[in-house]
């Protein structure tokens, strides 16, 4: 029963609420079916399949709240889980920041986030796709390590104020790293979609194979400030630390890069280059997401940064009430606008610069300036006179996405990419940036 | 270790709405996110071992009847409890629990795995059958069949973390009030904000295999932590100082202070027992000193690293590159490979560090996060040398890798984060042995001419082969001519692993030896977390490159 229909979910949740004696009660159920395959050393390694569900019941008495869960669905189990959450609520300390549950909402019709073909992926298809990738690796005489994962899931919620929401979604993610057998060259590619028919495992593997072969005999160049072209898979890991930190409360409290002296914030101010526009849109054709958030608030199309100016920050329901504004939920997907140029066009238009395939091990160095460190990985090349000239050794960088987006030269055509750090998806353009700060060399390939 | 966490059922946002918002970013990014919430303060509903044996036998029989040549079954109940507070508010109390079965098989020479939370006869038998069918399907993608190091069955055995006081059984109210009291201490000494949390872990793991083992284990872990923030209103600048506690394989006794287990240098440091009130009091004052501290002059310094800082450097630069799966290339697509290639180990003379450097792998050390009786493929745990007098002598291996490094048995390094995920090679506790000559931190500092004494772990990052790293900390003290002359800020050190360990010139003795660790060592695809400790004493490294991390935006 891992995936319930809307009617099945509503019926079950109504049954749960019927057991409630609390001031407020909310029941959420979710389930997923998923499978994955890993390969390395040009052969399959581990592979598995998972099926699971979960019912979460939250009960409140005044400002006291308790949460409990179960994954059995007979009447006695449902009664038990409700009673447990009520017992816990009675024991819990009062939370002065407690917010009552959200009442009934009207949502705009949901985008198509569930694709049957993706939900139907089985172990045979996973093995077939892996076989295609391995064939390319073997022909190119390089060694492949890769990962393919598919999931199909649903979630639904119902509360004692009558709010009901339901959605289903599918996902398939693929990534591959090809290395030359002597370990001196490495190339990477990754892709993720709701719809498996868009996934071209062979094309991604070919890109990675090309980079692996071309990155052999990398030259060491001096650390310093360079013009870089960040491919979307490299850009996303810095961008997610910018748009993920657009939080009103920490800005208002003075402990964010958005804070200004005297309790002011950068909301409404120009933060980065005017080429930068970042928005979220649950109905985006390439990145469709849920039309409500985890508390049941509607998700709508919303601009966060427009032409470099901070337009919106996330407001939790508590903070919004305190500040007298509407709550703004955190969206499930971000889109960064760009131009029409392809990555190839951008390379052609670059006199001197560095092409970065991927950035790795990204960690906050200073939250005050949003300074991050990390390294280049799996395909770093020197560009001269519009051409990729030679591979270079990997660098460590210390850079802030704020500084980086003030040194923005050009944006290319945005594409859906997956963060190698958080595994989340976004639409990010290739970015050409001047004076990107590399602070040391790494021997890693 | 990695910050991103496996979310499974819930997405991050849903989880945060459960766990309570308003935590500082430093705490938020580190939440252990396994399982689903259940109420705290309830007696354990443990499943008796006779029932678990029955369930396991269903899986073992079903897999064998479908043609599996090896099967292991893990039935797990994984419990977490979080209490999350800020200043004078308890934001949330969450109990999570997750119960299910994971079945791993070899069929046609290939691994297969399936997991389900449907624990009736049919659910278990179907999962076993699915695991076998996946193995058969994937066998065409093998280059050679899986070779499993032999392992004797132990029969019916059990193991428990030797805790003094079960933290789950301490009333919620008492735990919440302790955090609030700590917050209040920090506010009194000057903090603008305090976020604090207590995380408890209990893994009730039952393992059965076709080798004839039925192993019942009950594992406990605890982690109290906080972040204090101080804001200077006029300039808008802020600084933070994190707790100097460690996640431990202990019960609630970790939170009962013991004066004899405190180490006093320029601040107070804690060995096996923690005093959260004192640490919060000091943190409130020290974050103010950090605000006023001198920004570091970049250059070469002799570093004196406290175990609260050094544990993470050991984790990243010794623990990870000696994991055999990385060395062999199994992690090439995510966590990375290793510079400690097999030829370096085979030579028997690869100079990893100075003669003082002795590093040991261990899964038995009491109080450590890694301590268990058996791993998740039924191998009893042990201790072995990794680096001996500066030379690489061994790796960390599991059953299907042992033959590659000429071992006749596994080293017991195979773990999974839950019943849902397949087990694979995970890091043992990897620790630096203390110095043999008596030496305490205050005496070590006396010999340093130009140095920085670093306490606590901050930012950390290392490349995918573990050569180039950059670490920060919580507290930085400038040392001039053997004396601490004041606090510094904006400090990070960058080094190459081999050069760094070769610059090790002094290690304090056993009396200073302490454990640091993390619940969240991340590896694998899908990514799994693993809990691991690293022991060390205060250690000196000469001539390390220090950068200044201050910027303007």
Tell me the per-residue pLDDT of A268-284, one tens digit each, with 9 for 90 and over. 999 999 999 999 999 99
User: Using 50, 70 and 90 to split pLDDT, how confident is the model at B456?
Assistant: very high
Domain final position from B275, B292, B309: B292
The answer to whether the CB atoms of A145 and B333 lie below 8 A apart is yes
Residue B186 has pLDDT above 70, yes or no: yes
How far, in Å, CA of B310 to CA of B308, rounded? 6
Element (H, E) at A299: none
CA A335 to chain centre: 11
DSSP tag of A71:
S
pLDDT at B80: 86
Q: Which of 9-48 (B) contact A at CB < 8 A?
A: 9-11, 13-14, 16-18, 21-22, 24-25, 36-42
**R_g of chain B computed on alpha carbons:** 24
In a domain, A1, yes or no: no
Q: What is the mean pLDDT of residues B465-485?
A: 98
Contact, A359 vs A380, CB < 8 A?
no
Same domain, A234 and A356: yes
User: Using 50, 70 and 90 to split pLDDT, how confident is the model at A207?
Assistant: very high
Residue with tokens 């749960």: A16
Contact, B106 vs B69, CB < 8 A?
yes
Token reading at A198? 């868009």
Same domain, B335 and B263: no
Same domain, B231 and B346: no
Domain final position from A304, A334, A364: A334
How far, in Å, CA of B531 to CA of B78, rounded? 14
Same domain, B21 and B92: yes
DSSP tag of B87:
T
First-to-last C-alpha distance (Å) of chain B: 29
Same domain, A121 and A187: yes
- Output the CA–CA distances (angstroms, integers) from residue A30 to A33, B10, B287, in the order listed: 11, 8, 43
Same domain, A160 and A294: no
The domain of B195 spans 12-292
Which residue in chain A has the smallest CA separation from B79?
A69
Distant-in-sequence, close-in-space partners of A211: CB < 8 Å, separation ≥ 6:
A178, A185, A186, A187, A188, A189, A357, A378, A379
Calculate the CA dihedral of residues B405, B408, B411, B417 and round it to 10 degrees: 90
Residue B60 has pLDDT above 70, yes or no: yes
Nearest CB among A39, A97, A175 relative to B91 is that of A97
How far, in Å, CA of A144 to CA of A136, rounded? 9
Same domain, B353 and B269: no
CA torsion through residues A321, A324, A328, A330, sign: negative
How far, in Å, CA of B529 to CA of B1, rounded? 8
Q: What is the mean pLDDT of residues B126-147?
A: 97
Q: Which of 136-195 (B) contact A at CB < 8 A?
A: 137-138, 140-144, 172-173, 176, 192-193
Domain final position from A334, A352, A387: A334
Same domain, A28 and A121: yes
Domain final position from B266, B292, B318: B292
Tell me the per-residue pLDDT of A38-76, one tens digit each, with 9 for 90 and over. 999 999 999 999 988 888 999 999 998 888 777 778 898
Same domain, B187 and B149: yes
ipTM of the complex: 0.94
Q: What is the mean pLDDT of residues B455-479?
A: 97
CA torsion through residues B180, B182, B188, B193, sign: negative
In a domain, B1, yes or no: no
How far, in Å, CA of B146 to CA of B170, rounded? 46
pLDDT at A311: 98
Residues in chain A: 445
Domain final position from A287, A303, A334: A334
User: Using 50, 70 and 90 to split pLDDT, how confident is the model at B47?
Assistant: low
Residue B9 has pLDDT above 90, yes or no: no
In a domain, A113, yes or no: yes
Residue B16 has pLDDT above 70, yes or no: no
HEC assignment per residue over B53-81: HHHHHHHHHHHHHCCCCEEEEEEEEEEEE
How far, in Å, CA of A212 to CA of B387, rounded? 32
Residue A349 has pLDDT above 70, yes or no: yes
- Output the CA–CA distances (angstroms, integers) from residue A134 to A188, A189, A209, B326, B398, in the order listed: 14, 14, 11, 20, 25
Same domain, A225 and A301: no
| Residue A418 exposure: Cα atoms within 13 Å on the Cβ side | 19
Chain B CB within 8 Å of residue A167 CB: no
Chain B CB within 8 Å of residue A68 CB: yes
The domain of A138 spans 6-212
pLDDT at A397: 98
In a domain, A262, yes or no: no
Chain B CB within 8 Å of residue A417 CB: no
The answer to whether the CB atoms of A47 and B112 lie below 8 A apart is yes
Nearest CB among A67, A71, A96 relative to B89 is that of A96
More confident residue, B371 or A423: B371
Residue B81 has pLDDT above 70, yes or no: yes
Q: What is the mean pLDDT of residues A359-382?
A: 97
What is the DSSP track for B416-477? -SSTTS--EE-PPEEEEPPBSS---HHHHHHT-SEEEEEES---EEE-TTS-EEEE--SEEE
Residue B37 has pLDDT above 50, yes or no: no
Tell me the per-residue pLDDT of B382-437, one tens digit each, with 9 for 90 and over. 999 999 999 999 999 999 999 999 999 999 999 999 999 999 999 999 999 999 99
Which alpha helices (H) appear in B66-171, and where do they start and end?
121-138
More confident residue, B66 or A84: B66
pLDDT at A68: 79
CA A319 to chain centre: 24
Contact, A40 vs B333, CB < 8 A?
yes
How far, in Å, CA of A85 to CA of A100, rounded? 16
In a domain, B252, yes or no: yes
**R_g of chain A computed on alpha carbons:** 24
Residue B46 has pLDDT above 70, yes or no: no
Nearest CB among B22, B92, B465 relative to A445 is that of B465
Q: Kindly report the CA angle at A172 between A168 and A175, in degrees rounded to 5?
A: 155
Token reading at B226? 């906080």
Token reading at B94? 């969450």
In a domain, A314, yes or no: yes
How far, in Å, CA of B384 to CA of B376, rounded? 19
Residues of chain B contacting A123 with CB distance shorter than 8 Å: 133-134, 137-138
Same domain, A109 and A128: yes
Q: For testing the chain A interface, which of B42, B141, B231, B238 should be mutated: the one with the most A CBs within 10 Å?
A: B141
Contact, A205 vs A132, CB < 8 A?
yes
Q: What is the mean pLDDT of residues B242-268?
A: 98
Distant-in-sequence, close-in-space partners of B463: CB < 8 Å, separation ≥ 6:
A360, A361, A375, A377, A394, A396, A442, A443, A444, B336, B469
Same domain, A31 and A59: yes
In three-state secondary structure terms, B514 is: strand
DSSP tag of B317:
I
Q: Reply yes or no: is the peptide bond before residue B526 cis, omega within 30 of 0.
A: yes
pTM of the model: 0.94
pLDDT at A1: 57
CA torsion through residues B390, B392, B393, B394, sign: positive
How far, in Å, CA of B390 to CA of B368, rounded? 24
- CATH code, A108: 3.30.2290.10
Same domain, B129 and B240: yes
Total domains, chain B = 2
Residues of chain B contacting A295 with CB distance shorter than 8 Å: 17
Do β-strands A142-159 and A24-40 pair in parallel, antiparallel, or remain unpaired? antiparallel
Nearest CB among B40, B234, B463 relative to A375 is that of B463
Domain final position from B292, B312, B333: B292
In three-state secondary structure terms, B37 is: strand
How far, in Å, CA of B247 to CA of B308, rounded? 11
Which residue in chain A has the smallest CA separation from B339?
A444
In a domain, B534, yes or no: yes
How far, in Å, CA of B101 to CA of B438, rounded? 50
In a domain, B6, yes or no: no
Query: In 3D, which of B394, B397, B398, B373 has the Cα closest to residue B385?
Result: B394
Same domain, B377 and B524: yes
In three-state secondary structure terms, A118 is: helix
Q: Which of 191-250 (A) contact B at CB < 8 A?
A: 245, 249-250
Tell me the per-residue pLDDT of A293-327, one tens digit each, with 9 for 90 and over. 999 999 999 999 999 999 999 999 999 999 999 99
3-state helix vs strand vs coil in chain A, percent to 5: 25, 40, 35
Q: Enumerate the β-bridge partners of residue B226.
A: B196
Same domain, A418 and A320: no
Query: In 3D, which of A320, A250, A254 has the Cα closest to residue B25?
Result: A250
In a domain, B212, yes or no: yes
Chain B CB within 8 Å of residue A253 CB: yes
Q: φ, ψ for residue B199 (rounded to 5)? A: -115, 130
User: Using 50, 70 and 90 to split pLDDT, how confident is the model at B17?
Assistant: very low
User: Using 50, 70 and 90 to split pLDDT, how confident is the model at B4?
Assistant: very low
Residues of chain B contacting A42 with CB distance shorter than 8 Å: 143
Query: In 3D, which of B176, B291, B178, B296 has the Cα closest to residue B228?
Result: B291
CA distance B253 to chain A (A): 23
Chain B CB within 8 Å of residue A149 CB: yes
In a domain, A246, yes or no: no
> If you average pLDDT over every residue of chain A, what do you get?
96
- CATH code, B120: 3.30.2290.10
Nearest CB among B13, B100, B332 relative to A52 is that of B100
Same domain, A310 and A419: no
The answer to whether the CB atoms of B525 and A261 lie below 8 A apart is no
CA distance A443 to chain B (A): 6
Same domain, B394 and B492: yes
Same domain, A161 and A218: no
Same domain, B232 and B304: no
Same domain, A376 and A322: no
Residue B14 has pLDDT above 50, yes or no: no
Residue B322 has pLDDT above 70, yes or no: yes
In a domain, B3, yes or no: no
In a domain, A260, yes or no: no
Q: What is the mean pLDDT of residues A23-30?
A: 96
How far, in Å, CA of B188 to CA of B284, rounded? 7
Q: Kindly report the CA angle at A97 between A94 and A99, in degrees rounded to 5?
A: 95
Chain A CB within 8 Å of residue B50 CB: no
Nearest CB among B16, B127, B465 relative to A444 is that of B465
Min mean pLDDT across A78-92, A387-401, B177-191 is at A78-92
How far, in Å, CA of A118 to CA of A121, rounded? 5
Same domain, B336 and B276: no
In a domain, B189, yes or no: yes
In three-state secondary structure terms, B16 is: helix
| Residue B423 exposure: Cα atoms within 13 Å on the Cβ side | 28
Same domain, A308 and A172: no
The answer to whether the CB atoms of B461 and A51 lie below 8 A apart is no
Same domain, B345 and B246: no
Nearest CB among A87, A88, A442 relative to B467 is that of A442
Q: Which of 468-497 (B) contact A at CB < 8 A?
A: 468, 470, 472, 490, 492, 494, 496
User: Using 50, 70 and 90 to split pLDDT, how confident is the model at B2?
Assistant: very low
Q: Enumerate the β-bridge partners of residue A277.
A: none
Calculate the CA dihedral of residues B446, B448, B451, B453 and round it to 10 degrees: -40
In a domain, B7, yes or no: no
Nearest CB among A36, A42, A143 relative to B526 is that of A36
Same domain, B322 and B453: yes
HEC assignment per residue over A127-147: HHHHHHHHHHHHHCCEEEEEE
Total domains, chain A = 3
CA torsion through residues A376, A382, A388, A393, sign: negative
Distant-in-sequence, close-in-space partners of B351: CB < 8 Å, separation ≥ 6:
B390, B391, B498, B502
């Amino acid at each position: 029963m891992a995936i319930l229909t809307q009617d099945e979910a509503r019926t079950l949740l109504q049954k749960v609420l019927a057991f409630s004696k609390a001031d407020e009660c909310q029941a959420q159920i979710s389930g997923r079916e998923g499978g994955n395959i890993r390969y390395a050393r040009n052969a399959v390694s581990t592979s598995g399949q998972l099926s699971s569900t979960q019912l979460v019941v939250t009960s409140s008495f005044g400002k006291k709240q308790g949460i409990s869960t179960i994954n059995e669905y007979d009447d006695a189990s449902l009664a038990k889980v409700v009673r447990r959450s009520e017992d816990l609520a009675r024991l819990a300390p009062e939370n002065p920041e407690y917010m009552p549950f959200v009442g009934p909402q009207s949502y705009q019709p949901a985008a198509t986030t569930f694709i049957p073909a993706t939900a139907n992926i089985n172990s045979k298809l996973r093995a077939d796709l892996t076989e295609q990738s391995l064939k390319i690796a073997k022909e190119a005489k390089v060694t492949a390590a890769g990962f393919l994962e598919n999931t199909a899931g649903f979630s639904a919620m119902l509360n004692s104020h009558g709010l009901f929401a339901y959605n289903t979604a599918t996902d398939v993610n693929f990534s591959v790293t090809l290395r030359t057998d002597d370990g001196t060259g490495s190339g990477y590619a990754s892709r993720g979609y709701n719809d498996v028919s868009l996934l071209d495992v062979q094309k991604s593997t070919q890109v990675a194979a090309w980079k692996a072969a071309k990155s052999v005999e990398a030259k060491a160049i001096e650390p310093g400030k360079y013009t870089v072209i960040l491919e979307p898979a490299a850009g996303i890991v810095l961008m997610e630390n910018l748009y993920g930190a657009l939080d009103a409360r920490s800005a208002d409290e003075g402990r964010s890069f958005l804070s200004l002296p005297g309790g002011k914030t950068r909301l409404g101010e120009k933060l980065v280059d005017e080429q930068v526009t970042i928005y979220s849109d649950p109905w985006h054709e390439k990145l469709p997401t849920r039309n409500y958030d985890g508390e049941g608030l509607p998700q709508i199309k919303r601009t966060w940064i427009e032409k470099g100016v901070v337009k919106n920050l996330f407001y939790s329901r508590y903070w919004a009430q305190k500040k007298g504004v509407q709550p703004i939920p955190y969206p499930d997907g971000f889109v960064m606008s760009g131009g029409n140029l392809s990555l190839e066009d951008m390379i052609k238009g670059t006199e001197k610069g560095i092409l970065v395939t991927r950035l790795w091990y990204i960690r906050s160095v200073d939250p005050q300036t949003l300074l991050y460190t990390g390294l280049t990985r799996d395909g770093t090349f020197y560009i001269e006179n519009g051409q990729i000239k030679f591979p270079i050794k990997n660098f460590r960088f210390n850079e802030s996405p704020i500084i980086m987006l003030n040194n923005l030269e050009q944006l290319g055509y945005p594409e859906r990419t997956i963060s190698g750090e958080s595994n989340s998806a976004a639409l990010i353009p290739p970015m050409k940036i001047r004076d990107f700060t590399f602070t040391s060399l790494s021997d890693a390939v | 270790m990695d910050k991103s966490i496996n979310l499974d059922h819930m997405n991050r946002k849903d989880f945060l709405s459960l766990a309570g918002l308003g935590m500082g970013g430093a705490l938020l990014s580190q939440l252990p996110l396994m399982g689903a919430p259940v109420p705290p303060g309830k007696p354990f509903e443990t499943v008796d071992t006779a029932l678990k044996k029955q369930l396991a036998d269903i899986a073992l029989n079903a897999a064998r009847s479908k043609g599996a040549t090896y099967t292991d079954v893990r039935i797990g109940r994984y419990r977490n409890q979080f209490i999350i507070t800020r200043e004078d508010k308890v934001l949330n109390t969450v109990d999570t629990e997750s119960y299910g079965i994971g079945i791993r098989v070899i069929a046609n020479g290939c691994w297969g795995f399936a997991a389900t939370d449907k624990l009736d006869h049919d659910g278990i038998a179907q999962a076993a059958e699915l695991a076998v069918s996946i193995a058969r399907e994937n066998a065409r993608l093998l280059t050679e069949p899986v070779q499993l190091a032999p392992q004797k069955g132990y029969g019916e055995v059990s193991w428990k973390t030797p805790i003094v006081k079960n933290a789950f059984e301490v009333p919620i109210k008492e735990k919440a009030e302790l955090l609030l009291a700590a917050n209040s201490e920090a506010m009194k000494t000057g903090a603008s904000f305090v976020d604090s949390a207590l995380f408890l872990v209990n893994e009730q793991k039952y393992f059965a295999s076709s080798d004839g083992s039925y192993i019942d284990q009950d594992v406990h872990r605890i982690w109290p932590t906080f972040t204090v923030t101080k804001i200077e209103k006029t300039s808008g600048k802020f600084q933070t100082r994190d707790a100097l506690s460690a996640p431990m394989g202990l019960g609630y006794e970790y939170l009962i202070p013991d004066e004899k287990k405190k180490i006093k240098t320029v601040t107070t440091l804690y060995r096996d027992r923690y005093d959260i009130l004192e640490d919060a009091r000091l943190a409130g004052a020290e974050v103010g000193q950090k605000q006023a501290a001198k920004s570091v002059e970049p250059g070469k310094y002799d570093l004196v690293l406290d175990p609260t800082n050094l544990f993470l450097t050991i984790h990243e630069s010794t623990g990870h590159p000696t994991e055999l799966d990385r060395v062999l290339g199994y992690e090439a697509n995510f966590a990375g490979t290793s510079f400690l290639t097999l030829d370096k180990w085979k030579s028997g003379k690869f100079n990893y560090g100075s003669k003082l450097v002795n590093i040991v792998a261990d899964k038995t050390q009491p109080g450590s996060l890694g301590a268990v009786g058996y791993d998740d493929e039924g191998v009893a745990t042990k201790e072995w040398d990794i680096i001996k007098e500066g030379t690489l002598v061994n790796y960390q291996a599991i059953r299907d890798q042992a033959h590659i490094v000429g071992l006749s048995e596994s080293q017991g390094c195979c773990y999974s984060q839950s019943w849902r995920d397949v087990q694979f090679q995970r890091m043992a506790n990897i620790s630096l042995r203390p110095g043999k000559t008596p030496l305490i931190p205050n005496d070590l500092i006396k010999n340093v001419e130009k140095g920085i004494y670093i306490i606590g772990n901050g930012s950390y990052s290392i490349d995918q082969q573990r050569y180039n790293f950059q670490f920060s900390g919580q507290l930085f003290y400038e040392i001039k001519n053997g004396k601490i002359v004041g606090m510094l800020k904006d400090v990070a050190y960058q080094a190459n692993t081999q050069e760094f360990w070769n610059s090790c010139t002094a290690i304090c003795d056993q009396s200073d030896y302490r454990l640091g660790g993390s619940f969240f060592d991340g590896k694998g695809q899908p990514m799994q977390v693993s809990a691991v400790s690293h022991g060390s004493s205060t250690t000196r490294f000469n001539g390390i490159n220090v950068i200044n991390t201050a910027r303007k935006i």
